[in-house]
């Protein structure tokens, strides 16, 4: 799907997009500057003061010899934070070689040994959560509390991985007299994870523990837009005692992604991101015989019934629609107001317009900027398309002004009354924009959801158990919330988005992740008890009775 010509275009576009970046540190306020300087001082592989981000290969932070570099800027101010390499083909091969060599020994360690690494890893994440959060705020633009939430949801998977001795239990039964059949779960080999910009800590913290605790090695490619958290996490793995080569971090765009898809030593790929990249990675990876899990786009609907707890429902919708500036794959991006609940639209608008848009370190900020000027332009274009197609903009965030952050990629909360024929409904906006649809009945609302191509998540707000039961039974979406706006399951369960939101049949954590990162080996063995006393041979056909 992608060609070398496209790769060159992508790199040129990134260079152009960051050509107006402000010099390191100068555009940051006192709080952000202090955080940036501390990060640059304390961590080996990343920088927030203009120095280069390293590769992490074979347990060492290695300066890249790349010829192409990508600027990482603070989306609140356009201040240059670091430069990320387009990891060279030679460096990528070194990462794969390191992972392959480490697998020879790491795969033979016991589940208890790997569990001890996980326990130490989770302790270090907790101790260094402030540094991780600061990196996320600077590079991604989240508010500080939301950045901590990013880390916490990843940490929950790390903690669940500590139950590996139970999760990796095999099966064994005596199938005939003195004959046993045993099934064991064994590691695949070298695996890879390709992480998105919107959860720079959480997604690496999904893949690293599940890949390593099952005995695999991992090559991680963080987003080229905000790699800092992944580099800190790599260093925490090192401090926790993970042997060299078990985790490797490479960087880049299309060329690096294609190298991951094509390399014969890589057995599995975990991806979270957009539709185009997700389909490409799934098709190219599976073509080369790899196991691939790909979580892609979403258009998550929430139905508000007239009998719902109004205060809970409206506050939940506003938080789920506009938190993280709408840049969550499980954000509520469509509210379906059923019957008399349609009269709640003015109250919904009032709640949303009271949200404060500002820099992520500001104490009273509710949402920060979107990731890039290009993302902002796309969001503004989709809002404009609604206006052109006859939609009604009840709250318009296109012209929001943020004092002290005049160069930031800010879009204010926006609420659009639309219909399902409009572009703003059909496309994933991935910004602080809530589409409002109206339905006369619950059945009509369910039909709207089922007709949508995406199936990541959905929610209903109601005080009727019967209504909730009908919704749960009839709606065709993988993850359902009942009076819960963002129904992301905890890690003892499995991620279960469906339809066009996912490719591959195994989820990112829980039991599904154990299946994804392991292969089964079945052994049938015969040890006759009487052979301890006699060695008489039998020439009869074995019948296994």
> Which residues are identified as catalytic?
329
With H, G, I as helix, E, B as strand and everything else as coil, classify residue 264: coil
b/e burial code for range 521-539 (CB count within 10 A of at least 16 → b): eeeeeeeeeeeeeeeeeee
13, containing H or E segment: helix 4-17
Give phi and psi for 145, each to the nearest 5.
Answer: -60, -40
- Taking each continuous run of H as one helix and of E as one strand, the counts in the chain are 18, 22
With H, G, I as helix, E, B as strand and everything else as coil, classify residue 475: coil
Rounded (5°) CA angle 277-278-284: 85
- Cα–Cα distance, 289 to 161 (Å, whole number): 27
Return the C-alpha torsion angle 451, 452, 455, 456, nearest 10.
-150
Partners of 337 in the β-ladder = 304, 438
CA dihedral over 470, 501, 263, 227, signed as positive or negative: negative
CB contact set of 257 (below 8 Å; sequence gap of 6+) = 2, 194, 221, 277, 280, 281
Give phi and psi for 377, each to the nearest 5.
Answer: -60, -40
What is the full DSSP assignment across 71-134?
EEE-TTT-BEEEEEE---HHHHHHHHHHHHHHHHHHTTS-HHHHHHHHHHHHHHHHHTHHHHHH
Q: The tokens of 524 are what?
A: 């049938």
- Cα–Cα distance, 413 to 30 (Å, whole number): 27
With H, G, I as helix, E, B as strand and everything else as coil, classify residue 422: coil
Q: The tokens of 187 are what?
A: 């590691």
Strands (E), 399-501: 414-417, 433-439, 454-455, 458-461, 480-482, 498-499
With H, G, I as helix, E, B as strand and everything else as coil, classify residue 359: coil
Q: The tokens of 310 are what?
A: 């109004």
- Cα–Cα distance, 154 to 146 (Å, whole number): 13
- Asked whether 99 and 246 are in contact (CB, 8 A), the reply is yes
- Cα–Cα distance, 48 to 109 (Å, whole number): 37
- Asked whether 192 and 268 are in contact (CB, 8 A), the reply is yes
């Amino acid at each position: 799907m992608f060609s070398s010509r496209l790769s060159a275009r992508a790199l040129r576009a990134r260079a152009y997009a960051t050509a107006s970046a402000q010099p390191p540190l100068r555009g940051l306020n006192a709080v952000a500057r202090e955080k940036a300087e501390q990060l640059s001082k304390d961590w080996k592989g990343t920088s927030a003061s203009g120095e280069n981000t390293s590769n992490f290969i074979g347990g060492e932070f290695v300066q890249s010899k790349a010829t192409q570099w990508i600027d990482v800027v603070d989306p609140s101010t356009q201040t240059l934070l670091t430069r990320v390499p387009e990891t060279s083909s030679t460096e990528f091969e070194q990462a794969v070689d390191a992972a392959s060599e480490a697998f020879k020994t790491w795969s033979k360690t016991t589940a208890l040994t790997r569990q001890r690494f996980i326990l130490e890893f989770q302790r270090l994440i907790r101790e260094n959560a402030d540094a991780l959060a600061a990196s996320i705020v600077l590079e991604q633009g989240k508010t500080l509390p939301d950045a901590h939430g990013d880390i916490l949801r990843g940490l929950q998977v790390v903690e669940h991985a500590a139950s590996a001795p139970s999760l990796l239990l095999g099966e064994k039964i005596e199938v005939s007299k003195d004959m046993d059949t045993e099934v064991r779960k064994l590691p695949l080999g070298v695996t890879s994870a390709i992480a998105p910009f919107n959860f720079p800590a959480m997604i690496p913290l999904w893949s690293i523990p599940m890949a390593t605790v099952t005995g695999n090695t991992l090559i991680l490619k963080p987003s080229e837009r905000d790699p800092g958290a992944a580099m800190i996490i790599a260093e925490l793995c090192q401090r926790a005692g993970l042997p060299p080569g078990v985790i490797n971090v490479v960087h880049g765009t299309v060329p690096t992604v294609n190298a991951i898809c094509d390399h014969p030593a890589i057995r599995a790929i975990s991806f979270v991101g957009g539709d185009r990249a997700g389909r490409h990675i799934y098709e190219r990876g599976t073509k080369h015989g790899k196991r691939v899990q790909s979580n892609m786009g979403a258009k998550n609907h929430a139905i508000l019934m007239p009998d719902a707890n109004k205060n809970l429902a409206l506050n939940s919708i506003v938080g789920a629609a506009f938190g993280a500036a709408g840049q969550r794959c499980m954000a509520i991006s469509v509210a379906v107001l059923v019957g008399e609940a349609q009269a709640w639209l003015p109250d919904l608008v009032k709640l949303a317009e009271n949200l404060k848009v500002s820099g992520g370190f500001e104490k009273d900020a509710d949402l920060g900027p979107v990731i890039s000027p290009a993302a902002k332009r796309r969001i503004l274009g989709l809002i404009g398309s609604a206006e052109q197609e006859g939609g009604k903009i009840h709250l318009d965030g296109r012209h929001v002004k943020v004092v002290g952050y005049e160069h930031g990629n800010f879009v204010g909360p926006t609420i659009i009354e639309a219909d399902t024929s409009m572009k703003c409904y059909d496309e994933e906006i991935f910004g602080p924009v809530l589409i409002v649809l109206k339905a006369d009945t619950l059945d009509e609302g369910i039909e709207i959801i089922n007709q949508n191509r995406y199936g990541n998540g959905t929610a209903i707000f109601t005080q009727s158990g019967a209504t909730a039961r009908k919704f749960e039974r009839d709606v065709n979406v993988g993850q359902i919330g009942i009076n819960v706006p963002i129904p992301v399951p905890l890690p003892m369960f499995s991620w279960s988005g469906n339809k066009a939101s996912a490719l591959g049949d195994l989820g990112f954590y829980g039991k599904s992740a154990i299946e994804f990162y392991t292969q089964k080996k079945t052994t049938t063995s015969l040890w006759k008890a009487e052979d301890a006393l006699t060695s008489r041979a039998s020439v009869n056909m074995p019948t296994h009775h």
